[in-house]
A and B are shown apart, each in its own frame.
Chain A
Amino acid sequence: MSILILAEHDGQQLKQSTRQAVTAAQAWNAPVHLLLLGGDTAAVAADAARVAGVAQVIRVDAAHLEHPLAEDIASVLVALAGDYQAIVGAHTAFVKNALPRAAALLDVALIADVIEIKGNNSYVRPIYAGNVLASVTNAAGLQLVTIRTTAFDAAGNGGSAAVTTLAAPAAGTLSRWVAETRNVSDRPELATARVVISGGRSLGERFESVLGPLAQQLNGALGATRAAVDAGFAPNDIQVGQTGTVVAPELYIAAGISGAAQHLAGMKDSKVIVAINHDPDAAIFQVADFGIVADLFDAVPQLTAALKQ
């Protein structure tokens, strides 16, 4: 039997997280199908069909799927589930909203946030803010899984999948989409950026003015601690950590961050970690490859200037 991936896209292209789910799904050694939901998925289907390792792309287009609601996504998944061995998605807000709903309707467990797929129904997943790796074995039968994106490389292009279309079940009547707001930024997306520059609450009102130029210089994304977000210095959607976004960039620069376990849970798998903190005993130095004991208001602008040369 095949593997179905609940894809996420912006109307034009697949999200990188979906390409990471494609890589994870290869663990089952079975054909991988991508499920696209949307108002009009023609463009994104062309992108999806090129992904290496995808055998089939299934388009489900309907007006009410322009902004898909969990209730409607789950009913599509339930309709398709009988043909699949596993349904997989990335552990993102979009998938986390819908997949557990489908799991309950199908009366199966959902194994969340897995970092390794071992065999048909065995997995490894971090718990307790990443302080413990639990190995779990699910009951046999249909598997529902979300994957931690940072644990899997994104599948590249080179495939040529067949594209089929499927009629959407009727729209649900329980809820309706009202509006959305998007924080516009010309910086790369936090979850997939090659470089992330994060700041803590000590940046205060100068969060953007101090870190922004460094992000600009390195073409990086900005991240923040919960303390910085709670204090209103940084927008909520850039919180890195156990209860925010998990990132693993090539380079993570932590400026004025103490290194609480909940923060480390979201960044300690980064390739190279730099910590700037004036407290030599700050916990962040325990995970940093390169640490500087300095006032960040001096060190960050100096670093920005040095990189310009």
Chain B
Amino acid sequence: MKALVAVKRVVDHNVRVRIKADGSGVDTAGVKMSINPFDEIAVEEALRLKERGLVSEIVAVTLGEATSQDVLRHALAMGVDRVILVETATELQPLGVAKLLKAVAEREAPQLVLLGKQAIDDDAGQVGQMLAALLGTAQGTFASKIDIENGEAIVVREVEGGTETVALKLPAVITADLRLAEPRFVKLPNLMMAKKKPIETLAADSLGVDFAPRVARTAAAEPPVRAAGIKVGSVAELVQKLREAKVI
């Protein structure tokens, strides 16, 4: 059984982003970029499914500019078998991403498509659900556990106040939540080896898909900052302040 994993290149979670001087967007020039943490979890889970004998081949795909090759190298170093870059300089938005991933899924015919539950830059949290809709397959979002039994994917999902278990016919699309798997540490020799592996590159424009942006960004702004508070010297003083603020 083949697994396809979608990995996105995002601003590293440790970076505090700055807004461009003209307010037109976020300044990502020269900023450290990494694989989206949830996508790293999805890759890890695919590797574990392979180690359990449930998956035979893992293909990782990313969409974006040539610079996105580095997240594919990271996936290779973790242990995926093959990687694909769908290259475009156009700004990608969730529906367009889902349409391009659908085209890749149709070429690769995976039984399992794994994505992150959200990308930590745009926090849209929707590509997986959109992809499942376009492929006409079942979806298991916010997964914390995946099993394959009798041709179904059994997925435990994180929901408010607990979990829900669903059984999905294959092929299916599953999005990774934090608890699904702890990504393995990538060793330097593996990273060096990954540099020598081939990256299949497809031009996004060649896939016959309309992925033009639907949403225009009109401005980016800093949120209002909270006024600085005070330090109190004792618990008694804290209680008094909270009473004055009428919150207790």
Contacts and interface: CB of A to CB of B under 8 A. Distances in A.
B242 A237 contact: no
Given A101-B129, A243-B118, A307 B248 contact: yes
Interface in A195-248: 195, 218, 226, 229-230, 236-237, 239, 242-243, 245
B66 interface: no
Given A103-B130, A126-B123, A175-B139, A135 B219 contact: yes
A167 interface: no
A288 B235 contact: no
Contacts of A92: 160
A170 interface: no
Interface in A150-200: 173-183, 189, 191, 195
B144 to A, nearest CB: 7
Given A71-B138, A174-B137, A103 B95 contact: yes
A285 B228 CA distance: 8
B222 interface: yes
Interface stretch (A35-43, A55-63, A79-87, A290-298): A290-298
Nearest to B168: A175
Given A132-B220, A307-B248, A179 B164 contact: yes
A69 interface: yes
Interface residues of A, number: 89
Contact of A138 (B129, B167, B214): B214
B30 interface: no
Pick the most buried of B163, B169, B215, B236: most chain A CB atoms within 10 A of its CB.
B215
Given A96-B126, A134-B217, A302 B160 contact: no
Contact of B248 (A70, A245, A251): A251
A1 interface: no
Interface residues of B, number: 79
Interface string B112-142: 0000011011111111111111101111111
Interface in A270-291: 271-274, 280, 285-291
Nearest to B11: A128
Interface stretch (A18-26, A46-54, A110-118): A110-118
Contact of A183 (B161, B239, B247): B161
B26, B126, B137, B230: which has the most chain A beta carbons within 10 Å?
B126
Interface string B201-242: 000000000000011111111110010111110111011011
Contacts of B122: 127
Interface of B: 11, 13, 16-17, 19, 26, 38, 93-95, 98, 117-118, 120-134, 136-142, 144, 154, 157-169, 172, 178-179, 214-223, 226, 228-232, 234-236, 238-239, 241-242, 245, 247-248
Given A94-B159, A290-B238, 6 more contacts: A97-B157, A104-B131, A136-B216, A243-B178, A251-B247, A287-B229
